Amino acid sequence: MPFPQSIREQALLACKRYCCYCEKYSGLNMEVHHIIQEADGGPNTFDNAIPVCLNCHATIGAYNTRHPKGTKYSSKELKKIRDDFYKKIKKIPRKADQKSDADKKLLEAFKDDFTDILEYIIDTDFSAQLVNIGLSDKIDSLVSKWSKKKKIFELKLLEDTKLDIINEICELQQYLSIKFFRLYEPTRFLIFRNESYEEGENLREVLRPNTLRIRTRIKQLLDQLYSY
């Protein structure tokens, strides 16, 4: 049984028709999802509702308990995602396009500077592939450039996205160190360290899960960036 219309409206007003999961403005393409499914005793209440876009609704609801693979979204996780987003969305304009001319110009410049490096990070398995030796220096250069006051967006949504992207690539940079990588002489690229038990453990337990998490988040942020 779907949520009552009053609950649906309350949830959509709270999220301003942005998806609570991918944080994209989705307009008409929204669904209000039961955090705890009705079949499992979940009520049709505002507290049990998370508004998401159609794509994210399909992803969140796709887990098959008969053939479990991966890890399903827990009710606690979904509520935390929703509550954090409700706080974030409060000061964001309801309409998708509230950008000033200055912000529009700055946004295009930001995309020009960051798209290639973000797509490189998304496409690179840092625990299995060679890594461009200049990646860390490129991150330093971009962070320095976009930390200047002339590079601050007027619209809070854009500024928050910019800062989220910068924070993610700075976190990635922490792993581009001699603890996890060494120079691969024939190509002048970096290669992950895996020549001892300790290095192998760092690769499996630290480098792989954390770089995968960062890459996944950067993919979400890049999609979000291009939705503005």
Q: Provide the CA 16 distance to its chain's centre, in angstroms.
A: 19
First to last CA, the chain: 34
| Backbone region of residue 138 per phi and psi (left: phi > 0; alpha: psi in -120 to 50; beta: other values) | alpha
| pLDDT tens series, the chain, 228 aa | 689 999 999 999 999 988 999 888 888 789 999 999 888 899 999 999 999 998 898 888 765 454 455 677 889 999 999 999 999 888 776 655 567 889 999 999 999 999 999 999 999 999 999 999 999 999 999 999 999 989 999 888 889 899 999 999 999 999 999 999 999 988 889 999 999 999 999 999 999 999 999 999 999 899 889 877
For position 154, what pLDDT does the model report? Answer: 87
Which pTM does this prediction carry? 0.63
For residues 77 and 44, the answer to whether their CB atoms sit within 8 Å is no
Compute CA distances 142 → 110, 137, 147, 164, 177, whole Å: 10, 9, 8, 14, 19
Cα–Cα nearest to 126, from 173, 185, 167, 170? 173
Smallest CA-to-CA distance from 55 within 78, 33, 37, 82 is with 33
131-132 and 189-192: which strand pairing?
Answer: antiparallel
Q: Residue 193 region, left (φ>0) first, then alpha (ψ -120 to 50), else beta?
A: beta
- Quickly tell me which residue has 């000061």 as its tokens: 91
Phi/psi of residue 65, nearest 5 degrees: -70, -20
The H or E element that residue 135 is part of is helix 135-146
Q: What integer pLDDT is reported at residue 207 of this predicted model?
A: 95
Which residue do the tokens 């509550």 mark?
A: 83
The sign of the CA dihedral 153, 157, 159, 162 is negative
Pairing of the two strands 131-132 and 49-53: unpaired
Task: Please give the structure tokens belonging to residue 148.
Answer: 């200047």
What is the reported pLDDT for 40? 87
What's the alpha-carbon Rg for the chain, to the nearest Å? 20
Distance of CA 182 to the CA centre of its chain: 28
Residue pair 162/224 in contact by the 8 Å Cβ criterion: no
